[in-house]
């Protein structure tokens, strides 16, 4: 049984969302980054206009409805980011558990391989026995078709009889060895194969969920890029923000 080692590294797409709201402090997990709070723009006069990401701001001022939509999108993207980071952490822990299970299964492989060698040896002996039987049958057929005369006939017949007895004895030994080997190998190999199959299923399921998370991270990065263009560096009136906070 071949045990898959297809576990792919978690976090392949983490970099896609690491800088969601701006530069990442080295060593700071992506999930720890929160949406930047509105900060005073360098272009603001008397605190009257702001930008969501604290930049210089460009383009026309956001209307109150546009600002409200931008804040909602910002919150949604951050929520998705936090959820993805939680999933990434869980997948990473699960990957470690799968790796440990894989290592444990590998440690059980040596005795299973030894059993396979015994089976291969028995199969070779059985084949050699079959070749002997085939040869004996052919010589018996030749003897019957062209029997020798006199003392040679008795000697040949006696030799064939002796060889038949030897073959029968060898067959009993092979059958006993086969029965014993079946008892010794059947349960351990079946148990090992069951573990390997279960591990293979776990690996496949992990890969599927990891791929789905990577795709979701790429989609979120697309949303973030669009948000930055339409909201992140656009100016808005501070009064509109205060009104939105009051539910207006």
What pLDDT digit, counting tens, does each position of 30-60 carry? 333 334 344 334 333 335 788 887 767 777 8
Note the helical H segments in 22-63: none
pLDDT at 78 over 50: yes
Q: What integer pLDDT is reported at residue 11 of this predicted model? A: 36
- 236 phi and psi angles, rounded to 5 deg: -150, 165
- 84 vs 37, which has greater pLDDT? 84
In contact, 6 and 206? CB cutoff 8 Å: no
Residue 112 confidence class, pLDDT cut points 50, 70, 90: confident
Phi and psi based region of residue 228 (left: phi greater than 0; alpha: psi -120 to 50; beta: remaining): alpha
CA separation for the pair 213, 131 (Å, rounded): 59
pLDDT at 14 over 50: no
Helix (H, G, I), strand (E, B) or coil at 50: strand
CA separation for the pair 160, 99 (Å, rounded): 60
């Amino acid at each position: 049984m071949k045990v898959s080692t297809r576990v792919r590294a978690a976090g392949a797409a983490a970099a896609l969302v690491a800088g969601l709201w701006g530069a990442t402090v080295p060593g700071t997990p992506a999930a720890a980054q929160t949406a930047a709070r509105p900060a005073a723009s360098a272009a603001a006069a008397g605190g009257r206009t702001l930008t969501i990401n604290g930049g210089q701001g460009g383009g026309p001022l956001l209307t109150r409805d546009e600002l409200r939509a931008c804040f909602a999108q910002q919150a949604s993207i951050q929520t998705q980011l936090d959820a993805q980071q939680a999933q990434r952490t869980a997948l990473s822990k699960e990957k470690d558990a799968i790796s440990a299970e894989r290592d444990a299964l590998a440690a059980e492989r040596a005795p299973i391989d030894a059993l396979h060698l015994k089976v291969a040896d028995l199969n070779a002996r059985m084949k050699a026995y079959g070749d002997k039987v085939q040869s004996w049958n052919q010589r018996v057929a030749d003897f019957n078709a062209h029997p020798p005369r006199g003392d040679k006939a008795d000697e040949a017949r006696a030799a064939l009889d002796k060889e038949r007895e030897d073959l029968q004895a060898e067959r009993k030994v092979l059958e006993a060895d086969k029965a014993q080997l079946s008892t010794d190998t059947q349960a351990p190999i079946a148990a090992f194969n069951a573990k390997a199959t279960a591990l293979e299923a776990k690996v496949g399921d992990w890969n599927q969920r990891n791929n789905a998370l990577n795709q979701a991270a790429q989609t979120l990065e697309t949303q973030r890029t669009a948000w930055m263009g339409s909201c992140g560096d656009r100016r808005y009136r501070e009064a509109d923000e205060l009104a939105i906070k009051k539910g207006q």
